Structure 1
Amino acid sequence: MTVNFITQFPNVTILTDEPLSKYTNTKTGGPADLLAFPASVDEVQALMTVANANDVPVTVIGNASNLIVRDGGIRGLVMILTRMATIKVSGHQVIADAGASMIEVTKRAQAASLSGLEFAAGIPGSVGGAIFMNAGAYGGETSDVADSVLVLTRQGEIKTITRDDLNFGYRHSRVQDKNDVVLSATYLLQPGDGQEIQAKMDDLNARRAARQPLDLPSCGSVFKRPTGYFAGKLIHDAGLQGHQIGGAQVSMKHAGFIVNVDHATATDYLNVIHHVQTVVFEKFNVHLENEVRIIGESVKED
């Protein structure tokens, strides 16, 4: 399998047995059998075609900001799309490749005096991840501005999905259901005042920096917001801030975050998550559902 991919795609960077801890925001995660960095839609489609023909499973990740990869790693082919990062402005639209960072997309929108993406000014994920999760913050969501998405189906077909068919919900989109690969997204924005847009972005980023543990590796917001509650407050009220297993700790700055304070493993993260869910349910009868995406295999015990 390894020789097949590397020889067939001499222009694509493909690494073998590569630790994914190098690429995740938590700095944890086991190895990928094959890790490819395609730089174009054609390369993604070609890699998918070869993988399908050889029954090789394919996992696609972006900036790995709201993701935990288990310590056993991922079998088959992993594609990281961060080399696909072109951002274009056309009229009131911003068209961005899946691997572009949301922070850069918001900067381009502001430079063009286009409003609507200010909420995403500090979101550390990629365009593809934001579509996949319907990422949001400070009262705004991706669904508010996403007009259409170009995807690659698991069967290797390239399709455009319009806003009405994206089935956006809270931290959910059609892409999750179909397991499509986001290739690019088109955002429909409104004309605005560039200085006012920048001021709003600056304000939101200042609020984020004041409240969130941005100085430590984390997977972002760990839990979805339970109906009628705030996950962080429940965790705080349960007395869990500072709770630590291995090198993973419930953040002292924001209880909704778990941070890597001392060479944590993915297993440390998962153990903290499970403990938090158990205690919060015991105390408040509320189940905290994961917002963070957890993928890969556990370490096999001898």
Structure 2
Amino acid sequence: MKLMDLKDQGIDIQENVPLSRFTFTQTGGPAEFLAFPKNLTELKQLVETAKQLSIPLTVIGNASNLIIRDGGIEGLVLILTKMDEITADEKNHTVTAQAGARIIDTSEAACQAGLTGLEFAAGIPGSVGGAVFMNAGAYGGETEFVIKSVDVLTRNGEFKTYTHDEMNFGYRYSLVQDTGDVVVSATFGLEPGDKLAIKDKMEYFNGLRRAKQPLEYPSCGSVFKRPKGHYVGPMIIKAGLQGKRIGGAEDSMKHAGFIINVGGATATDYLNLIHLIQKEILKKFGVTLETEVRIIGKEKD
């Protein structure tokens, strides 16, 4: 069997697709194969077929905190955005969302159900799967604080459920980064709250985001992890790197922790600017900056 034979079974699978169409930076090389499973059956079939054919498998979520190198990704890439069901259980104070659902929409569903705890995620542009994978957070909240359980599909094609503790969450880390399991859905354990108060908090956080972040430009969000005892933005400013541009990638004048695509940027432009910032911050402050953004794919030949 060939991967493209799955098209005959109604699975949306394509060849040689530029991933710049899907990344928030609007950069990135092609996927050798790209599929959009609509349900668990299709997802399982794709994972099992990739294993049978010994083809590399990559899941890229909503591609909001991601840089894909200009050489693209070999093998099969899965985007789960068609798996986006969200269910609120007001009685048990939970919201369950499939991996492809936006965390923003999940936060809104919690609000409509009068459940509090997900307000911090009201403006995070990633998917639920990506939020779990990266333990996404903002404004004092983190995904791990509200996760009750996570359903995954292993690379062997087996469904299993992890409890909160089994996910072994850390700063921008979760267990599935090591296991390679594909997040299928997550259940959030929340608390009853007042809808208007929840909405007000969400709007407050989104107001802060609009005021402080360069949302008018393509970007991959916050680029660097916060080093212990330091703030990245002020260090970049003190180093004279705010506004620094390589190709079409620029360190944002609105928020120095963001790198924006001001037009025609390549992933290589992004990576060269990241490496320059890391080098200068280490030289001037003795601080090693680690990337929060996930960087995958191969260099362009």
- Corresponding residue for residue 265 of structure 2: 264
Which amino acid in the other structure matches residue 178 of structure 1?
A: T
Which structure 2 segments of 5+ residues have no match?
A: none
Aligned to 2:46: 47
Please state how far the C-alpha of 1:153 moved relative to its aligned partner: 1.0
Counterpart for residue 21 of structure 1:
20
What residue number does 2:276 align with?
A: 275
Cα deviation digits, residues 173-222 of structure 1 (max 9, x gap): 10111111100000000000000000000000000000000000000000
- Specify the code of the residue in structure 1 equivalent to 2:177: Q
Could you say which residue in structure 1 is the equivalent of 2:3?
Answer: 5
Q: Secondary structure at the match of 2:77?
A: strand
1:233 equivalent in structure 2: 234
The alignment-based identity, stated in percent, is 58
The one-letter amino acid of 2:59's match is V
Answer yes or no: is the 8 Å Cα contact 2:66–2:293 preserved in 1. yes
CA distance in 1, matches of 2:5, 2:170: 42
Q: Offset of 1:6 from its aligned partner?
A: 2.3
The answer (yes or no) to whether the contact 2:6–2:13 under 8 Å persists in 1 is no
Task: Please identify, of 16-25 and 42-51, the stretch whose mean Cα deviation from structure 2 is larger.
Answer: 42-51
Q: How does 1:139-150 map to 2 (within 5 A)?
A: 139-150=140-151
The 2-side partners of 1:36 and 1:153 are apart by: 18
Over aligned residue pairs, what C-alpha RMSD do you find?
A: 0.8
For structure 1, the 5+ residue unaligned runs are none
The DSSP-based 3-state class of the residue aligned with 1:46 is helix
Q: Which residue of 1 aligns with 2:115?
A: 114
Counterparts of 1:184 and 1:232, CA distance in 2 = 34
Superposed CA deviations along residues 219-270 of structure 1, whole A, max 9, x for unmatched, are 0000000000111111111111100000000000000000000210000000
The 2-side partners of 1:163 and 1:73 are apart by 34
Tell me how far apart the structure 2 counterparts of residues 55 and 76 of structure 1 sit (CA, whole Å): 9
User: CA contact under 8 A between 2:146 and 2:190: conserved in structure 1?
Assistant: yes
The residue correspondences of 1:89-238 to structure 2 (distance < 5 A) are: 89-90=88-89, 91=91, 92-238=93-239
With normalisation by structure 2, the TM-score equals 0.98
Please state whether the residue corresponding to 2:222 is helix, strand or coil. coil
Displacement of 1:30 in angstroms is: 0.2
Shift of 1:31: 0.3
Q: What amino acid is aligned across from residue 61 of structure 1 in structure 2?
A: I
Q: Distance in 1 between matches of 2:112 and 2:289?
A: 39
Instruction: Determine the C-alpha separation between the residues in 2 that align with 1:135 and 1:61.
Output: 15
Aligned partner of residue 106 in structure 2, secondary structure = helix
Which letter maps to 1:6? M
Amino acid corresponding to residue 5 of structure 1 in structure 2: L
Q: Which amino acid aligns with 2:280?
A: V
**What's the secondary structure of 1:219's corresponding residue?**
strand
Show CA shifts across 1:101-139 (max 9, x none).
Answer: 011001100000100000000000000000000000000
Alignment partners' CA distance in 2, 1:48 and 1:262: 36
Q: Aligned letter for 1:76? A: G
Counterpart secondary structure, 2:74: strand
Q: Secondary structure at the match of 1:254?
A: coil
TM-score of the pair, normalised by structure 1: 0.97
**Paired AA for residue 288 in structure 2:** H
Please state how far the C-alpha of 1:97 moved relative to its aligned partner.
0.3
Q: Distance in 1 between matches of 2:180 and 2:49?
A: 18
- Aligned counterpart, 1:59: 58
Amino acid at match of 2:27: T
